[in-house]
Structure 1
Amino acid sequence: KFEVSNETNLTLEVSQDDVLVDDTAVVNLAPSNFSFNDMLKNGEIVLGSSGFLRYSREWEAGYNGCLREVRLGGELMPFYKDSTFQNNTAVNKFEVQNIMNIVSNCVGKDSCAGHSCLNKGNCVDLWNDYKCDCPAGFEGSMCEDNPDNCAIHPCMNGGVCVDGLGTYTCTCPKSFSGDICQNEVNLCSVNNASDLCANNSTCVDLGNDFTCNCTDQEYTGWYCNVPVRQNCNEIRCQNEGTCSNTSITLGAETNVTSFNCSCRLGYEGQLCEKEIDYCSINGLVCANNGQCINQPNTQNYSCNCSESLDFTGANCTEKINNCIGAVCNNGTCLDGVRNFSCLCNDGYTNITCDTVTDICQNRSMCQHGFCNNGFCNCADSGWEGSGCQRDFNECNATEPVCFHDGNCTNLEGWFNCSCSLGYEGHNCSTPNCSNICVLGTCQTNETDWSCKCEDYVQDQLCDNPGPCYGVCEKNKTVTCIQSTQFNNYSCICKTGWGNINCTDDIDECKESIAECHNGTCINTNGSYTCNCWSGYTGQYCNVTINECDSNPCQNGGTCKDEIANFTCICGITGYQGHNCSENINECIVNTTICNSGHCIDLDGNYKCNCSNQNLGFNCEFENPCYNNTMCSNGGVCQYNYTHSAYEHHCQCAGGFEGVNCEKQSQSPSSGPDLGVIIGPIVGGVVLIILIIVIVAFIMTARSKRATRGAYSPSQQETSGSRVEMGSVLKKPPEERLI
């Protein structure tokens, strides 16, 4: 989809895998899923929305707009079937196969509906868009802006520009004229200035004034009309000039009595008769019909803006908004010329729309101010008198009305303040230095202002930059040391920056400044980074990574840290592998581990089920009591584990003794009846044994619960030669045989 404006010529080209619109690549076509051939279906080219099920590409979803013509390879693609053309003899041409819903002279929606251009601008409907044709003096998408036509400073030669609607006017100094004060005026040709030069003197244009060049040495003065042969008793210096007698030479005549006038400031001429025109010498004028008042006594001028159609300021260029500070209690303020008026709401009247009492109703006794119970209240009206009919001179008030050394000018019913530097407002009470701090920021409080200078700038108006100002790269410098006496400076650069103004990046990697202990140095602007080798970390790659911190070894394996790696020591845990996570099948690793017994692999361990012929954890010992062949004469064979081997002993039957019960016991030759003696003894012993057996049985049962699974040779000795290996643990690890 391409968004195009009205009357746009669009050129589309497919080059390899790119779609180019007006020679600019806008779509990359991956060969695997799209190509220009996809746009051609059996020799057909589809424009707009196809509406056919076999076309499902996104670019076939539809087109909203008007097509003037479409050409492919320079050949026109018609919007009508070939049969409707007359004399169509073109050899290379496209033919329409199907036409659906083509509308001639298509028109877009009314884009101006719901949009209003401001300031009487005219809305122009475009295709799905609109624009505003603005009247003179306004601009912007909605004609909302009134640009300052004086912003380009069009007035030349000191002319003052006055902004208007779509135009401006230039108020020129008297020595220039023209729309932009471009024409110089010869003041000797204006107002018969040459006729004022007496005694054959010549008029000389001074630019802002004229003077007379006295060709006759007998005369002097601004207009060459004062004889030089006079002394101070005969002539008087004007405007408080001081006269002194002197002698001059006229031609061949010497010591001619004459005079000399020393003029006070603000006056000139041989007789101090000429006021210096401060309204002209600086090329400054009072705009908007303001009257320039020459003030030779203060060597300055002022503008009387009373005739300037409600303008104020030093040169009568600031429009007075008389509604500022105005009070219309029950109405709307309307700005006027030199005044304001209140458009009162229904039921209110008077200058500020206050309710008027009946005694003042329909009476015009108060020329200004307002009527209050039959009396005129002139407060804040600028007038005084019983009928508020007399102008009140605010400039003569006991308390000054113009603050901060502002100059007061009385106006009819009002006053004007010419404010000193840094103050504004009707009474010059508002500090504002926003336009006077040259290289600094204006700071104000309720009464005063000051300029906070930028670094290395000084003086009250921040208009004196030092040698350091603007030379050091700000974000790359710690500070700058300057000498105003010698007009030099030195930039103290931040780490990583160099050159005289701290503009150049220092390549720490090349300068061997970088500290990359176990890594590669990469230079960056003002610094560097370390790309650590595997196994190291930290800002300077000086910290070894302990891979064992993550406890990678399982099943009791011991981790050994290495550089960028680790090793798990699995030992006799019964596991193997990099992380000791793989169970060792001891029965496969060592097929004879259980000797003649049957090996059963466990998780991390194994056990041996021995036959009656063998004993031990790995069935490594022969059962000495197997088949009970060791004990004779009915003796019972028993075994115990001593000295890393199983040994037997025989419990002989009555009448036999010996290691293997191989000996018959010797009978006593004579004595008392042994039955009588032994009977009670045996009975007592049997009773004691019975009690011991019961106690032993109870303790053995408890011991079995506590020692179930433990390897106990003494248990095997008392329980017979059959050993259940399922209830026996392995020997201590150091005794395992693998």
Structure 2
Amino acid sequence: MRHMSYSFVMWSFTIRSKVVVAMAVCPFTTSSVTCLHHSYGYQDITVQRITCQDNKMFCGQTVLKWGCALKLHSLSIYFHYDKVNHNYNIFFTGIFYTAKADICLSSPCQNGGTCIDVMDNYTCLCPKEPLIYVGKDCELLYDACAHVNCHNCISTLGIDNYFCLCPAGFGGPDCTLTLDTCKSNPCTGIKNRCVDAVNGYSCHCPSGYSGEDCKTHVMDCSENPCLNNATCIQTSNDYECKCGHGFHGTYCEYDTDECLSQPCQNGAICLDGIDVYHCFCVPGFQGYNCEIDINECASQPCENNGKCINGKDHYICECLIGFTGVNCDVEINECEETPCQNGATCHDYVGQYICECVSGFEGISCEMDINECISVPCLNNGSCIDLVNRYECDCSGTGFAGTFCEEEILECSSEPCQHGATCHDGINQYTCQCWPGYEGNNCEMDVDECEAQPCENGGMCFQRSDQRHYGVMAQLGPSFSYEYADGFLCKCLAGFMGENCSFNIDDCEFAQCLNGGSCEDLINAYKCFCSPGFTGFICEVDIDECKSAPCKNGALCEDVINDYICHCPVSGRPCLNGGDCMIKWNDFICSCPQNYTGKTCDIRVWCASSPCVIGSQCVDLPDGYECLANATFENNALKFRASGSLSAPVTVVSVKLRTRTENGTLLRTANGLEFFHMGLLNSFILVKICNSINQEVLAFYSEVEVSDGEWHHVELRKTGSYYALSLWKLTVDGKVAGLSQAFAANLDFFNHSTLWLAENFTGCLGEVRIGGVYLPLIGGIHEEAPQFSQFIQYGSIKEPQIGCSGAPLCLLYSCLNNGSCQDLFNHYICDCAPGWQGENCQDDINECIYEPCIHGTCKNLPGEYLCQCALGYRGKHCDEDVDECHELHCENTGSCVNSVGGYTCICPPAYSGPLCQWSFPPLQCGVDVQCMNGGVCMNGPWGANCTCRLGYTGERCEMEIDECESNPCLNGATCMDQQTQYICECLPGFSGDKCEAPRQQQRESIPWLVVAVPMICFATLLVVVGLGCMMLTARRKRQSEGTYSPSQQEVAGARLEMGSVLKVPPEERLI
């Protein structure tokens, strides 16, 4: 029997501040230092050497996959005694960590195995529950029969149990024990000593006796009664068995259990051996009997002056202030918990932190706001408000201001008193001295004098303090003043007057009842009672008693006041003014001269004599005529006067105009305190009226602009023609555009005043009428118009131009880039061509910013844009999908499928390629394809292809190109096709390569040819001779040097690709 002694060794070291425990079982031999392998598939790895406990030798122990491990929580040691080989199989369980885990990141361990990184390798700690796995990556289930030497082994994979079917005579877990057939004491009688044998037993006499009756006393060692290699000592009449170490009993049949005395201390596991025991220490102890408590502090694991406290199987580091971690290796970052408040900066130090406070805070953690108000900085009873790093003084209610309330507030500086009141400043107060008509602390309240309704007879009350009325109402003056703001002003209804509108106006005082008519006063009106023979509102119409044709028999009726006179025809001549009389049955007809009309040619036709200047239109009136014309003005005003000729009240003013002038005067007149003004203000019509009855200025505007270069008809009309006072209505182009806010009388003062027309005005005027009477814009009338009511033009510096015409702006300013100019009367507009913009069409429009190209890139061009379409699209905007199948056709019955930007040919089985043009499988040069006429065959991805020589074409270079196909020969010449060229046979009279030149031209060039051709031939001959000599010399030289030159046959037989050049091989000297 082989005797082995073992030493169980444990030591510790630190990796990454973690305690690592390594263990090994070392055999005490003088040869190999290899540690015992352990079971369950783990491999032996030799690592760093250590010295065994008894220091007799060393064991080649290293960091095994199960050895160099970080202890965490618990560690268990298991061992199995191999009775056949007398070896111990050891493995560990528990939770392990290694110093390095990079290789384990790929998770190589299967079936729940734990990966442990070892140096540049890894090992897998395989699970043992519920099944046991083994192998490099725990990929195999544990087979218990693989580790035993028994026949007929039966096991379950993954379970640490097996069963051996032992042959007869053998037993034990591994069938390694010989069965003791004598155990049942089968021998009885005299031969009662049983001797076990293989597959049986035999009965013998008791020891010391022999014979059939066992009566012969024998003391002999010849039967080897001592077991377990015990030594048999023969005595005189007996023998004695001297047992070896580890056995006892009469025959040394009992193995001595050395573990019975419990030699292993501190919870170690005792493993009984033959004459030996082994203690497997729990972590934290060492020594043969595990009696030595390992001092984990011996390696001084605690850093940074930490105090190490040794414990069982562990140690504890008591760290100094400022450090933490298992080994006090981590400096505590006191700033990590952000102790500094209020935006302070934290500075970390060992065991402490310091806060660098922002301005305005203090304290260890900057938690206290510095009270800047402690110094009482605010003056004059101001309240101090503490803020961060500053303070504010609240000076409210103190009468002072400033940073420190040091400045006395001048309450009047904010102008608290309203409506022009005078402010008197005091300490923290002020008083307002109001103007009459205002009240309140700040004079903010306007006393409403109209509240008591002082205006009678429906008069409208206006406060003098209302600034809107100044400059409009004549009674209030042109500008507002608080001095006169107290009180009210009554605007009376038409027909009343007085401070409170309490007096009825006698309208007859201003009435004009003509022709002896009598006036009756009404409220804001009057009524004329006419004398006999007159009618009309003011009795201005003489009743035409002839209207009823009272005269008979062709008599001429003459109207007189309140009567008529019949003038009987004299001598049968009723037609007047040279008219010819034609007698009709019981009547007559007058054929009047050109200038007269009427029944008896008594009515004058004034326009028949063309009294108006060219460019004007003559319009007949009952008592005269008017010359109507449009005229163009350019700051050339006209003056007119009526000289009392207006017979009717002036209740309407109308003007036709066309202009772009924004400010100017159209018509104005004045007579004493009465005046009228119609003009342009910021392109709007402005009207101002003041007459003697109401004595206030009416001013109002049109609601529409008229300075737009278009013709407009502006009319100002009194709304109530029969009332002395009435509102005036302003219309523009027939639509109401303004209305006066007060009443005004007729504009009869036009009859006796001078009128100014078109002052500071540029533009055109058409008909201008006052009270229906036309203002003639053009002078030069042949004779004075006969009508009674008319305006006479006088004193004009320059007459306007007949007709309406603006400046020729389209001639002065040109529209660029094919733009067309539109003349809009002193204004022009350029209608730009597509792609251009700007006042003169000078700016190119970048159409690309509108992204017109749907499937393409836009390129801006002058006046236009271009869409560069993506593959597969076309159209102006790249919006049309190109159907490539219409333009391309798949060959060999392939079907074309269109796609965006391309196409796909679906080929039949025997063809392939983009167009199904190539056979499939691909053709090979020399096998399937032979190129003709010197063509070169090349294998490509889709098969063989022929590259043809010049002059040939076709799929296999089978066709010679006909150079005569394009008919290059001229003048009826015959073309003869040659390889890579053609020759033209000219008709008589022509010459040249293409027979393009007449023969005469060719003859003219003969003298040059006579000189040039012989010279060229001679030069060519010299070159040929020279080259021949050079080649002969070179050949002789190469032969003399022993060089190699390929033969003509080799050159001709060499395989050349198209376009390649044969290079002469380098010289090779013969050896």
Relative to the length of structure 1, the TM-score reads 0.25
Task: Judging by fraction of residues, say which structure has more strand.
Answer: 2
Structure with bigger RCO (C-alpha 8 Å, 6+ apart): 2
Which one has a bigger Cα radius of gyration?
2
